[in-house]
Chain A
Amino acid sequence: MNAPETMIMNEWVKVGAIDDIPPLGARVVKSAHGDIAVFRNADDEVFALLDKCPHKGGPLSQGIVFGRHVACPLHNWSIGLADGEAVAPDVGCVRQFAVKVEGAQVFVKIN
């Protein structure tokens, strides 16, 4: 493993076990960047987005998760979990964070 990669590795933060997040649900992680929503879908894929809808700042962590999308609880915009993009015809994008699952533990790259 070379040096730069080790540096990146150091930025991964363990946020908990995958079972702490309900399937088709989300949990919030507090960070210096603001709240981060960590989602888990039915296939146990895990995603992390800034917890702020690009429309009016709604907490995406509180939305209904389906497929690889979440519906914002305030005005029902659909946001792609994998890319943070609003589903057309709505336009907007929310910041994403890298996530990985190792063993049963979830890590988010917060930098």
Chain B
Amino acid sequence: MKKMKLVMVGNGMAGVRTLEEIIKISPDLYDITVFGAEPHANYNRILLSPVLAGEMTLKDIMLNDVDWYEANGIRLHLDKQIARIDRIARKVVAADGTEESYDRLLLATGSNPFVLPIPGKDLPGVITYRDIKDTNAMIDAAGKYRHAVVIGGGLLGLEAANGLKLRGMDVTVVHLAEWLMERQLDKTAADMLKKSLENKGLRFLLQKQTTAILANESGRVGSVSFSDGAQIPADLVVMAVGIKPNDDLARAAGIHCTRGVVVSDTMQTYDPRIYAVGECVNHRGVAYGLVAPLFEMGKVAANHLAHLGIGRYEGSVTSTKLKVTGVDLFSAGNFQGAADTEEIVLHDAIGGVYKKIVLKDDRIVGSVMVGDTGDGAWYFQMLREKQNVAEIRDHLMFGQSHLGNTGHQGQSNAAQMADTMEVCGCNGVCKGVIVKAIKEKGLFTLDDVRKHTKASSSCGSCTGLVEQILASTVGGAYAPQLNKNKPMCGCTDHTHEEARKVIREQHLLSIPAVMHFMEWRTPNGCASCRPAINYYLLSTWPHEALDDPQSRFINERAHANIQKDGTFSVVPRMFGGVTTAADLRRIADVVDKYQIPTVKVTGGQRIDLLGVKKADLPKVWADLAMPSGHAYAKALRTVKTCVGSEWCRFGVQDSTQMGIDLERAFAKMYAPHKVKLAVSGCPRNCAESGIKDVGVIGVDSGWEIYVAGNGGIKTEVAQFLCKVKTADEVLEYAGAFLQVYREEARYLDRTVHWVARVGLEYVKQRVLEDTAGRKALYARLLYALQDEKDPWQARAQGVAKHEFEALTV
């Protein structure tokens, strides 16, 4: 079949990203031709400032070189301006007469700098700041002249001013508004920024209106004059007063435009054969200038151009997280506040830190920060998800990471870290390696960085740091991806929540059925989505959906923990941490008989037998005659207890028996991630209930239940859920809590992540306020666990024999 022809006008970041997406999902659908007005292939426009400042070269900022186009069979016309679109003949015509016909046309013409309509705007030495040509003109001028005037105190203007200053020019920034970057900063923040830039030698003229640019005797720009009559010398004038979508081509072709090419949620223009993405677009009345929304548009456009037709772009809430000349800034939403908003402010002028959070009805509606912007992503996520922050209001200002994060020397501010410092303690990745990969490989997202460097790809505790590094390295380009709309994996565009919903509503019972219904792109998923779907099926339809062992990680398939040398570890269940001489004797005999090299007491009051050969597992289990401890599974692990009132002189409740009862009731309970419980017999809390998924503390008058604690990667103190009187109530409330988690959390969410997302209020409403709902949840949990066989004893009797035996030749 003859391929369809796709022509793209414009060769910038948004357009080329769209092509990359198309090539990824439908490599053979189109013959692609690209017209670029610049003589360069695709480069990272955001990094023009470092080029101007002399920190990077053009080569460093290339994203796709000419070889990339060739390798993907794309015909590339550089330095060719398209003069018109002939929609009837379906072709584009370049200024030099080159014609190209299309089946689909993609407009990615970007934006043009706004030029003030004042006398002298066309003089030699007056330029805008948009592309490589402008950058080179500035570098060139800096080598010859002294006085530079930058008109516009926005991001671009300040970056230009900084670059010119570093190249030795005397720079004055002229700005019409009362303070710098008034769209992103409030006055306090802007004053701090101004002060730090003045310390670097920049000069500012605020509330100044430029009225004319005057020539010197040689006909080049010589000075700038203002409405108040003042005049200053200028050998170079850079206009950086704003950009406007470049919709000229589309407008001339009769396509509907209003401040940009108007597109639908599928990025289609009013001509259904023509799509548009990037800064030239007007989507629901908004034109975007940040990279993250442009990339989101590209993804949607690619999906539709590839005939998949499932994506929708619904607009982006943007935040600005930037580094202006070494000063970290963050702003999002309504940072100015209004009559009906409240503010939390921290201002340390000497230390250079300013943080303001604007709240309305207990929700974050805006934020602006200078100096310490590490928590910007966190605030922004809560802003976008409209999360109620009433409960965390008292420590909101101190950020997400004020509790101990392990693995990177307690650092929470990437900017203060040296290149040689380790960011990711799991994979041994230093800051310098991450920065290098971002620059050299043109990475823009957390996932990209994870793939290329492995940083933050294991335990994830350094995710915040990696995001900060990404933000400061790619500049204004970076917007943290919202978890909410994040696809499950590369196999699909659907989210975890969508998969759960479909499984429930369509009563789907197998992985192939889910993948077929939701139009998975891959024939049988991947190692990331298959275990998740398998869990969703089993947790939604217990006793109905069939477990697929091949979609479980090896530990859950072999019912033991794989170790680095390929052997396994075996942890028998000891209910409540209580054992007997007979059990210990059998364990000792098994260790001798199978020559098990290491026997270790675990942190969860059990015994770990390490170094068992896979083929020996069924025999070991048969000889142990103890139930599986599920130490290998996303399931109930251990219930840690103290000795409690039976022996302890301080104990007020029988915590040991309570722990045994909980463990007996919930053993064999699979969950989105591992689940750990603890029961202490008095508030001295020797069982460490404060850092468990469910922690129970005995008090004289009953039991306190705490939830969503975590003692691992990031220490999280469990939150108080409720106090109950009886052991039966402990079972019911804890069970109901765990069942909501089982039914609603994403696979691999610990309880702490899930509760952080839905809020403790929601959990209280489901478990405490809705009595009938609680009882129903508890009943559903007991139903799911009913008749669940012990996996070890089943395998000791020959179930899944093939899993443990080699083929014999």
Task: Please tell me which one of the listed residues A30, A43, A58, A89 contacts residue B806 in the complex, with CB atoms under 8 A apart.
Answer: A30
Asked if A38 lies at the interface with its beta carbon under 8 angstroms from chain B, I say: yes
In the complex with contacts A66-B522, A89-B451, A76-B809 CB distance below 8 A: no
In the complex with contacts A73-B553, A89-B451, A66-B525 CB distance below 8 A: yes
Q: Is the CB of B566 within 8 A of A58?
A: yes
The chain B residue with its CB closest to the CB of A27 is: B807
Asked if B360 lies at the interface with its beta carbon under 8 angstroms from chain A, I say: no
Task: Please tell me which one of the listed residues B527, B564, B807 contacts residue A56 in the complex, with CB atoms under 8 A apart.
Answer: B564
Asked if B452 lies at the interface with its beta carbon under 8 angstroms from chain A, I say: yes
Asked if B523 lies at the interface with its beta carbon under 8 angstroms from chain A, I say: yes
Asked if B600 lies at the interface with its beta carbon under 8 angstroms from chain A, I say: no
B-facing mask of A1-43, CB < 8 A → 1, else 0?
Answer: 0000000000001111000101111011111000100100111
Q: Is the CB of B524 within 8 A of A22?
A: no
In the complex, which of the residues B451, B524, B553 has the most CB atoms of chain A within 10 Å of its own CB atom?
B524
Asked if A49 lies at the interface with its beta carbon under 8 angstroms from chain B, I say: no
In the complex with contacts A22-B802, A66-B530, A31-B562 CB distance below 8 A: no
Q: Is the CB of A74 within 8 A of B564?
A: yes
Q: Is the CB of B807 within 8 A of A20?
A: yes
Asked if B554 lies at the interface with its beta carbon under 8 angstroms from chain A, I say: yes
Which B residues, 434 to 456, have Cβ-Cβ distances below 8 Å to chain A?
451-452
Task: Please tell me which one of the listed residues B522, B551, B562 contacts residue A73 in the complex, with CB atoms under 8 A apart.
Answer: B562
Nearest CB in chain A: distance from B614 CB, A: 8
CA distance A41 to B526 in the complex (A): 12
CA distance A35 to B728 in the complex (A): 52
Query: Across the interface, which residues of A come within 8 angstroms of B802, CB to CB?
Result: 20, 22, 27
Q: Is the CB of A13 within 8 A of B809?
A: yes
Q: Is the CB of A38 within 8 A of B553?
A: no
Query: Across the interface, which residues of A come within 8 angstroms of B523, CB to CB?
Result: 42-43, 67
Asked if B598 lies at the interface with its beta carbon under 8 angstroms from chain A, I say: no
A interface, size bucket? 35 or more
Query: Across the interface, which residues of A come within 8 angstroms of B558, CB to CB?
Result: 62
Asked if A71 lies at the interface with its beta carbon under 8 angstroms from chain B, I say: yes
Asked if B531 lies at the interface with its beta carbon under 8 angstroms from chain A, I say: yes
Query: Across the interface, which residues of A come within 8 angstroms of B552, CB to CB?
Result: 64
Q: Is the CB of A24 within 8 A of B566?
A: no
Query: Across the interface, which residues of A come within 8 angstroms of B549, CB to CB?
Result: 22
A-facing mask of B553-567, CB < 8 A → 1, else 0?
Answer: 110011000101010
Q: Is the CB of B522 within 8 A of A67?
A: yes
Q: Is the CB of B806 within 8 A of A28?
A: yes
Q: Is the CB of B531 within 8 A of A29?
A: no
Q: Is the CB of B807 within 8 A of A38?
A: yes
Asked if A54 lies at the interface with its beta carbon under 8 angstroms from chain B, I say: no
Query: Across the interface, which residues of A come within 8 angstroms of B564, CB to CB?
Result: 56, 74
Nearest CB in chain A: distance from B544 CB, A: 22
A-facing mask of B519-541, CB < 8 A → 1, else 0?
Answer: 00011111100110000000000
Asked if B550 lies at the interface with its beta carbon under 8 angstroms from chain A, I say: yes
In the complex with contacts A15-B809, A89-B451, A25-B550 CB distance below 8 A: yes
The chain B residue with its CB closest to the CB of A14 is: B809
A-facing mask of B779-803, CB < 8 A → 1, else 0?
Answer: 0000000000000000000000010
Q: Is the CB of A63 within 8 A of B554?
A: yes
Q: Is the CB of B554 within 8 A of A62?
A: yes
Nearest CB in chain B: distance from A76 CB, A: 7
In the complex with contacts A42-B524, A62-B554, A63-B554, A74-B809 CB distance below 8 A: no
In the complex with contacts A62-B558, A67-B523, A15-B550 CB distance below 8 A: no
Q: Is the CB of A62 within 8 A of B562?
A: yes
In the complex, which of the residues A24, A25, A66 has the most CB atoms of chain B within 10 Å of its own CB atom?
A66
Query: Across the interface, which residues of A come within 8 angstroms of B530, CB to CB?
Result: 64, 66
Query: Across the interface, which residues of A come within 8 angstroms of B522, CB to CB?
Result: 66-67
In the complex with contacts A23-B550, A25-B550, A73-B554, A66-B526 CB distance below 8 A: yes
CA distance A22 to B553 in the complex (A): 15
The chain A residue with its CB closest to the CB of B551 is: A64
Q: Is the CB of A24 within 8 A of B550?
A: yes
Asked if A65 lies at the interface with its beta carbon under 8 angstroms from chain B, I say: yes
The chain B residue with its CB closest to the CB of A106 is: B807
CA distance A62 to B522 in the complex (A): 21
CA distance A67 to B530 in the complex (A): 12
Query: Across the interface, which residues of A come within 8 angstroms of B566, CB to CB?
Result: 57-59, 62
CA distance A95 to B423 in the complex (A): 34
The chain A residue with its CB closest to the CB of B526 is: A66
Q: Is the CB of A65 within 8 A of B809?
A: no
Query: Across the interface, which residues of A come within 8 angstroms of B524, CB to CB?
Result: 24, 41-42, 66-67
The chain A residue with its CB closest to the CB of B566 is: A59
Nearest CB in chain A: distance from B22 CB, A: 19
CA distance A66 to B529 in the complex (A): 10
CA distance A59 to B802 in the complex (A): 16
Nearest CB in chain A: distance from B632 CB, A: 12
Query: Across the interface, which residues of B come within 8 angstroms of A78, CB to CB?
Result: 527
In the complex, which of the residues A35, A38, A64, A67 has the most CB atoms of chain B within 10 Å of its own CB atom?
A64
- Seed contacts A28-B806, A29-B807, A73-B553; 15 additional CB < 8 Å A-B pairs: A22-B550, A27-B802, A27-B806, A29-B809, A38-B807, A42-B524, A56-B564, A59-B566, A63-B527, A64-B526, A64-B530, A64-B550, A66-B530, A73-B554, A78-B527
| 16 contacting pairs across A/B (C-beta < 8 A) | A13-B809, A15-B807, A22-B549, A29-B809, A38-B807, A42-B524, A56-B564, A57-B566, A62-B566, A64-B531, A64-B554, A66-B524, A66-B525, A66-B527, A67-B523, A71-B526
